């Protein structure tokens, strides 16, 4: 991209024509409207969490709070046992991540580097599952977990976390990109396969593990439906499930407290996104290019 | 394939006496694959096989399953809710195309033309995508509330308030609008990568040949994005045909079944009516239809390559 001339579809001389200037101005205005539309609901949630309940319910609504009631956040924190649900979500996240890196990391390393006989058949066996629509086997999946006696345990998340063909593909593509000479040198020096995985592949794979960690984090943080089916006891609910059951579906609850809780739940993923935004947005575009 | 440093077995070595040697040589290769193969069988292939099997059974967790032949499928075809659900799903898919599909394409072209603040516009467009689902539902329930911000805006314009969620004419539109708000940013980034990868000299050359701005977009930008647009369209069709979460969380399929989609009906058969057999049969039917769509995509892709 660096060698290309400094222009897009429009060149500088286009922008000197009055009609183009007007259209360009309208386009910029359109983007501004879009940005406001994107940010408004997010900021509204934050500011509503700071208003008094009475002020939230006034019509027509106004954007900024008249008084800043920080105590809403304290009340929201105590409304349901947020720390416990948070702990469960982090528990699911860490288990899923470890499982993904262990199971899929080893498997993709083997497919990419070790090339055992019939590795193409095994590769095909794993990739085939990408084409099977998830909701068509959602119910048998649930029944299967019940048959295995995994309902209401975190193993119902951890073990199936190792069955993601998409993450497998991401890691395999990454390992394919590492220079084979490195592994060849290690092999000549007498390193075993285990050693060359732990000592060479894993340290080189920090970027792909970070990408996976972000994906798995957002999965564990956002998924409310599947945990609400699999988990029965309240002390095991993940954060999103608990919010769905006790906040979204709450009949009598102060709107201001509700918004304070929603805001607190929204902050960690937004924070993660803003910190890693370059990294995340690059992997979003890459995932499309690779298909 | 064929990379340097790759050790291959010469064909002459594959005698039965060497078999053990081959296995020993590849022992760790197979051990590395073993956990994944076990997990994939246990948590993907077994459920998929059970899906095919259970659709002919009545599932009873207490007394055991009984074979009922095609009863589940017969029930599916006699349930008027199934036809409502199919109609709603098609309506939902149509709305996502009308309201949502073109937005990221237009936005990506527009944002690519920004000379300044392009990074900020990208971040702002992508930000809703990281908002968790449950927060999204709470947020937009309020946006759509009779005393919420959208009706506040409408009343200041002198329009009568609309109850977007409880009015069955608006409920599906409201869901699609909400989901477009959340999801278009990620599609936009994918298109943007496509737009920015078009060589700038093409525009330069077209401009010298006298092509206007619009004809540059029409004859250079859009054709270059063609295969990406087709791919995204198919992915959207596959994705939206299985949608149920927003419909379930915001409206529970109501008002008056107006947002009861096919996948939501599967969920309801299983967890409200506790009829897992029929739910599985519905899942199998969905699997058959979507595989046909997948085959179509594969065929289109092949034609694309052969052109």
Cβ neighbours for A146, distance < 8 A, ≥ 6 positions apart: B61
What does pTM read for this prediction?
A: 0.87
Of A133, A247, A289, the CB nearest to B290: A133
Give Cα separations from B237 to B90, B91, B92, B99 (angstroms).
10, 12, 10, 14
Q: What is the pLDDT of residue A6?
A: 67
Tell me the pLDDT tens digit for each residue of A141-161: 999 999 899 999 999 999 999
**pLDDT of chain B along its 307 residues, tens only?**
444 444 444 444 445 556 677 777 788 888 899 999 999 999 999 999 988 898 898 888 777 788 888 888 999 999 999 999 999 999 999 999 999 899 999 999 999 988 888 889 999 999 999 999 999 999 999 999 888 889 888 888 988 888 888 888 899 999 999 999 999 888 999 899 889 888 888 888 888 888 888 888 999 999 999 888 988 888 888 889 999 999 999 888 878 889 999 999 999 999 988 889 999 999 999 999 888 877 887 787 777 666 5
Check pLDDT > 60 for residue A291.
no
Q: What is the pLDDT of residue B238?
A: 86
**B127 and A289: CB-CB below 8 Å?**
no
What would the mean pLDDT of A118-131 be, rounded to a whole number? 88
Q: What is the pLDDT of residue B25?
A: 77
Smallest CA-to-CA distance from B91 within B182, B169, B184, B181 is with B169
Beta bridge partners of B42: none
Round the average pLDDT of chain A to a whole number and report it: 87
* A119 part of contact set with chain B, CB < 8 Å: yes
Tell me the pLDDT tens digit for each residue of A55-89: 888 877 888 888 888 888 888 888 888 999 999 99
Tell me the pLDDT tens digit for each residue of A239-264: 999 999 999 888 788 889 999 999 99
Q: What is the pLDDT of residue B16?
A: 59
* B107 part of contact set with chain A, CB < 8 Å: yes
Check pLDDT > 90 for residue A177.
no
Q: What is the ipTM of this complex?
A: 0.87
**Per-residue pLDDT band at A289 (split at 50, 70, 90):** very low
Q: What end-to-end distance do the CA atoms of chain B give, in Å?
A: 26
Cβ neighbours for A112, distance < 8 A, ≥ 6 positions apart: A172, A175, A176
Chain A environment of B108 (Cβ under 8 Å): none
For residues B166-180, b (16+ Cβ closer than 10 Å) or e, as one string?
Answer: eeeebbbbbbbbbbb
**B280 and A114: CB-CB below 8 Å?**
no
**A255 and B142: CB-CB below 8 Å?**
yes
Q: What is the pLDDT of residue B2?
A: 40
Q: What is the pLDDT of residue B306?
A: 64
B72 and B56 Cβ atoms separated by less than 8 Å: yes
Q: Which of residues 2-61 of A touch B (CB under 8 A)?
A: 4-5, 7-11, 13-14, 20, 23-24, 27-28, 30-31, 34-35, 37-42, 44-45, 48, 57, 59-61
User: What number of residues does chain B have?
Assistant: 307
Smallest CA-to-CA distance from B293 within B243, B236, B245, B228 is with B236
Q: What is the pLDDT of residue A290?
A: 43
- Local structure of B31: helix, strand or coil: helix
Give Cα separations from B231 to A129, A134, B237, B293, B305 (angstroms).
19, 19, 10, 12, 13
**B138 and A258: CB-CB below 8 Å?**
yes
């Amino acid at each position: 991209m660096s060698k290309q001339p400094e222009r897009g579809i429009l060149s500088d001389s286009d922008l000197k024509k009055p009609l183009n200037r007007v259209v360009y101005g309208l386009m910029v205005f359109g983007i501004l409207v879009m940005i406001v539309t994107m940010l408004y609901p997010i900021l509204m949630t934050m500011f509503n969490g700071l208003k008094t309940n009475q002020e939230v319910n006034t019509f027509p609504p106004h954007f900024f709070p008249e008084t800043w009631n920080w105590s809403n956040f304290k009340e929201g924190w105590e409304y349901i046992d947020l720390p416990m649900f948070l702990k469960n979500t982090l528990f699911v996240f860490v288990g899923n991540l470890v499982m993904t890196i262990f199971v899929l990391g080893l498997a993709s390393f083997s497919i990419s580097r070790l090339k055992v006989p019939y590795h193409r058949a095994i590769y095909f066996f794993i990739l085939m599952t990408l084409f099977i629509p998830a909701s068509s086997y959602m119910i048998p999946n649930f029944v299967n977990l019940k048959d295995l006696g995994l309902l209401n345990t975190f193993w119902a998340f951890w073990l199936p976390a190792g069955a993601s063909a998409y993450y497998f593909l991401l890691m395999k593509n990454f390992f394919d990109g590492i220079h084979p000479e490195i592994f060849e040198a290690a092999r000549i020096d007498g390193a075993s396969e285990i050693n060359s995985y732990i000592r060479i592949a894993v340290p080189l794979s920090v970027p792909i593990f970070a990408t996976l960690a972000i994906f798995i984090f957002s999965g564990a943080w956002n998924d409310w439906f599947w945990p609400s089916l699999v988990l029965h006891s309240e002390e095991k609910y993940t954060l999103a499930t608990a919010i769905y059951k006790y906040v979204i579906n709450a009949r009598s609850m102060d709107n201001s407290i509700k918004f304070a809780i929603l805001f607190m739940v929204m902050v960690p993923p937004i924070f993660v996104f803003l910190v890693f935004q370059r990294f995340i947005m690059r992997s979003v575009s890459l995932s499309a290019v690779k298909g | 394939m064929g990379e340097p440093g790759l050790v291959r077995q010469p064909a002459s070595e594959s005698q039965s006496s060497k078999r053990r040697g081959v296995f020993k040589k590849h022992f760790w290769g197979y051990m590395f694959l073993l956990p994944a193969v076990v997990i994939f069988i246990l948590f993907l292939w077994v459920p998929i096989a059970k899906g095919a099997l259970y659709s002919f059974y009545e599932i009873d967790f207490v007394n055991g399953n009984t074979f009922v032949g095609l009863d589940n499928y017969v029930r599916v075809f006699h349930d008027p809710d199934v036809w409502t659900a199919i109609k709603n799903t098609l309506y939902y898919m149509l709305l996502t195309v009308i309201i949502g599909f073109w937005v990221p394409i237009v936005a990506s072209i527009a944002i690519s033309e920004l000379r300044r603040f392009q990074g900020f516009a990208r971040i702002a467009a992508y930000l809703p995508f990281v908002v968790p689902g449950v927060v999204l539902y709470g947020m937009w329930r309020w946006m759509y509330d009779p005393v919420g911000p959208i009706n506040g805006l409408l009343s200041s314009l002198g329009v009568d308030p609309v109850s977007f969620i409880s009015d069955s004419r608006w409920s599906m539109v409201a869901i699609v609008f909400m989901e477009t708000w959340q999801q278009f940013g990620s599609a936009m980034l994918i298109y943007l990568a496509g737009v920015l990868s078009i060589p700038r000299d093409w525009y330069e050359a077209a401009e010298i040949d006298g092509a206007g701005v619009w004809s540059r977009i029409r004859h250079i930008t859009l054709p270059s994005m063609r295969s990406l647009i087709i791919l995204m369209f198919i992915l959207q069709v596959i994705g939206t045909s299985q949608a149920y979460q927003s419909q379930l969380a915001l409206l529970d399929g109501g008002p008056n079944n107006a947002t009861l989609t096919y996948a939501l009906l599967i969920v309801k058969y299983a967890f409200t009516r506790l009829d897992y057999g029929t739910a599985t049969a519905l899942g199998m039917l969905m699997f058959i239809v979507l595989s046909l769509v997948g085959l179509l995509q594969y065929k289109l892709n092949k034609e694309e390559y052969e052109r």
